[in-house]
């Protein structure tokens, strides 16, 4: 007995020592993972070094540098060094990722083995993709991914996209204002209301309007209320949906958020959405000059540069604010999206006067392997390597990479405190808020992922931007959008859209 114990113990020690030694060996050669060393797994540096893909070539179409582009290229370089494969990476601006992948696909070709895109491409490009093999789905590394992100990467139970990033919309605010006792007192005295993290969009508007157009942080420049994505481009409709979910996603009326699943009538012009658009039109009054033409980049510049009190779309603005060298590092906070004091009930045709909040599991970066690629194994190994524990932990600590948390083990405050110099309180607020959104909420809205999705979103972008520009009233604008949606449904085929939409609704209604 004793001899066995000794043997086992020494084996364990040996393995651990070998493990630690291996970790050191890899982090010496690849400084990117120096904080954690190599972490064991089927796709770790160690495992990949055992593979030999020399003579084979992998072609990847990814986003521009640095967001997603730099990590893709970096991991490509590492992968190449470990396995001998030749990896070619091409960088494409965000708005063109779709066409750059779809044109060859539709012409029957697959010049890229791996394509990067947004996760809401899934229904459109699914037919050209190779599903993720069971082998990868069952890895511990994959099991660590949060449920929401597994859902986002899958279609009706099959994982079509490889999870490499997580995205969500959440509220970001300037802590040095909201938590500032002087300003709190001033706000209370002048408005009779408490200065706090806004719980509803109306409160958001009030606070933003109050803090609009004067220098409240003493840096000699004027500041404004809110930086939002309002430019009529490929992303602004997501900002609109974030504002809408609280008013329109009623847990009491399952069966569809964008459409009524049974009749496939668009719900986009229902009072919930109209109220949200009305709020948005009012927001034009508390955005910086030119705010109505802000693209995501402008929003990041504005909030990250300290110009705005609030922002609420993707992680990037928060990450930019928290970078070393940012003037507002550790002065920003995180909270769930504001809710609403009433939510529209489409069955009763009236408002339910209760507080409602719903996270919008917005789409984010996704990567997938082309079905016609001749290098499936190589491609999946690359993606697995990309998101292996060591790489992922290192990636999320580098703001400009655009890789945001999506694994359960990501939501640990220490990562941010130690490696990125975040204040403890902020790191905890961040991880808690995000984790709650991912794992705990049952009243969620999933991105629209039906065939021809961009026709629908383009209609929303056009309509809402007309309202923002004052060309139409919110109701008129959304009526126009609803009419366009009906035309699109007719062209695409009601059953096609319903079948696809049902997949998303099942997730929202927690039926799966």
- Among the residue ranges 15-23, 201-209, 268-276, 491-499, the one whose residues contact another protein (CB under 8 A): 491-499
Task: Please check whether residue 68 is in contact with residue 365, taking contact to mean a CB–CB distance below 8 angstroms.
Answer: yes
Separation between Cα atoms, residue 398 and residue 165, nearest integer Å: 13
Compute the least distance from the CB of residue 323 to another protein, in Å.
Answer: 8
> What residues between 278 and 307 interact with another protein by CB under 8 A?
288-293, 295-298, 300-302, 304-307
Is residue 178 within the footprint of another protein (CB under 8 A)?
A: no
* Cβ partners under 8 Å of residue 460, min gap 6: 237, 240, 268, 481
List 56, 265, 285, 326, residue binding another protein (CB under 8 A): 326
> What residues between 29 and 68 interact with another protein by CB under 8 A?
59, 61, 63-68
Nearer to another protein, 199 or 326 (CB): 326
List 203, 316, 395, 423, residue binding another protein (CB under 8 A): 316
User: How many chain residues bind another protein (CB under 8 A)?
Assistant: 85
* Cβ partners under 8 Å of residue 89, min gap 6: 60, 62, 69, 72, 73, 76
Compute the least distance from the CB of residue 301 to another protein, in Å.
Answer: 5
Element (H, E) at 441: none
> What residues between 440 and 479 interact with another protein by CB under 8 A?
451-452, 454-455, 458, 462, 465-466, 468-472
For 190-233, give the secondary structure using H, E and C: HHCCCCCCCCEHHHHHHHHHHCCCECCCCCCCCEEEEECCCCCC
Compute the least distance from the CB of residue 224 to another protein, in Å.
Answer: 9
Compute the least distance from the CB of residue 127 to another protein, in Å.
Answer: 8
Separation between Cα atoms, residue 508 and residue 446, nearest integer Å: 7
> What residues between 387 and 446 interact with another protein by CB under 8 A?
400, 402
Helices 271-283 and 236-248, axial angle in degrees (round to 10): 130
Compute the least distance from the CB of residue 466 to another protein, in Å.
Answer: 4
Nearer to another protein, 179 or 476 (CB): 476
What residue has token string 């999506």? 406
Backbone angles phi, psi at 70, to 5 degrees: -70, -45
Is residue 327 within the footprint of another protein (CB under 8 A)?
A: yes
Is residue 492 within the footprint of another protein (CB under 8 A)?
A: yes
Compute the least distance from the CB of residue 444 to another protein, in Å.
Answer: 24
Q: What is the dihedral of CA 191, 171, 232, 296, to 10 degrees?
A: 120
Nearer to another protein, 197 or 396 (CB): 396
């Amino acid at each position: 007995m004793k001899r066995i114990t000794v043997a086992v113990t020494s084996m364990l020690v040996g393995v651990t020592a070998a493990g630690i030694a291996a970790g050191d060996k890899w982090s010496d050669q690849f400084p990117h993972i120096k904080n954690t060393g190599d972490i064991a797994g089927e796709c770790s540096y160690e495992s990949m070094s055992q593979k030999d893909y020399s003579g084979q070539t992998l072609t990847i179409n990814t986003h521009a540098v640095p967001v997603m582009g730099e990590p893709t290229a970096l991991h490509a370089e590492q992968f190449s060094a470990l396995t001998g494969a030749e990896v070619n990476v091409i960088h494409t601006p965000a708005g063109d990722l779709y066409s750059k992948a779809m044109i060859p696909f539709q012409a029957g070709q697959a010049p890229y083995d791996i394509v990067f895109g947004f996760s809401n491409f899934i229904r459109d490009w699914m037919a050209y993709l190779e599903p993720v093999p069971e082998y990868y789905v069952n890895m511990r590394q994959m099991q660590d991914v949060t449920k929401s992100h597994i859902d986002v990467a899958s279609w009706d139970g099959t994982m079509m996209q490889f999870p490499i990033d997580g995205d969500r919309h959440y509220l970001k605010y300037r802590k040095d204002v909201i938590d500032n006792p002087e300003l709190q007192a001033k706000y209370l005295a002048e408005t009779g209301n408490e200065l706090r993290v806004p719980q509803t969009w109306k409160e958001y508007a009030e606070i933003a309007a109050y803090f609009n157009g004067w220098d409240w942080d003493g840096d000699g420049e004027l500041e404004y209320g809110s930086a939002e994505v309002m430019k009529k481009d490929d992303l602004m409709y997501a900002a609109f949906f974030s504002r809408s979910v609280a008013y329109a996603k009623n847990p009491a009326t399952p069966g569809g958020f964008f459409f009524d699943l049974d009749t496939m009538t668009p719900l986009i012009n229902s009072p919930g959405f109209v109220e949200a658009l009305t709020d948005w039109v009012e927001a034009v009054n508390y955005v910086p000059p030119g705010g109505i033409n802000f693209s995501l980049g402008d929003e990041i510049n504005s909030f990250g540069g300290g110009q705005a009190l609030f922002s609420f779309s993707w992680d990037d603005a928060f990450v930019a604010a928290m970078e070393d060298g940012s003037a507002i590092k550790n002065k920003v906070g995180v909270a769930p999206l504001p809710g609403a004091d009433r939510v529209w009930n489409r069955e009763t045709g009236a408002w339910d006067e209760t507080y409602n909040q719903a996270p919008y599991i917005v789409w984010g970066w996704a990567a997938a392997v082309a079905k016609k690629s001749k290098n499936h194994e190589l491609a999946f190994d690359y993606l697995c390597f990309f998101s292996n524990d060591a790489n992922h932990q290192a990636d999320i600590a580098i703001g400009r990479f655009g890789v945001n948390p999506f694994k359960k083990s990501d939501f640990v405050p220490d990562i941010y405190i130690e490696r990125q110099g975040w204040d403890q309180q902020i790191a905890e607020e961040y991880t808690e808020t995000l984790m709650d959104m991912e794992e705990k909420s049952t009243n969620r809205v999933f991105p629209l992922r039906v065939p021809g999705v961009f026709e629908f979103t383009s209609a929303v972008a056009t309509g809402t931007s007309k309202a923002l520009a004052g060309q139409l009233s919110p109701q008129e604008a959304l009526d126009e959008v609803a009419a366009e949606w009906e035309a699109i449904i007719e062209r695409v085929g009601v059953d096609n859209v319903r079948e696809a939409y049902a997949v998303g609704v099942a997730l929202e209604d927690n039926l799966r």
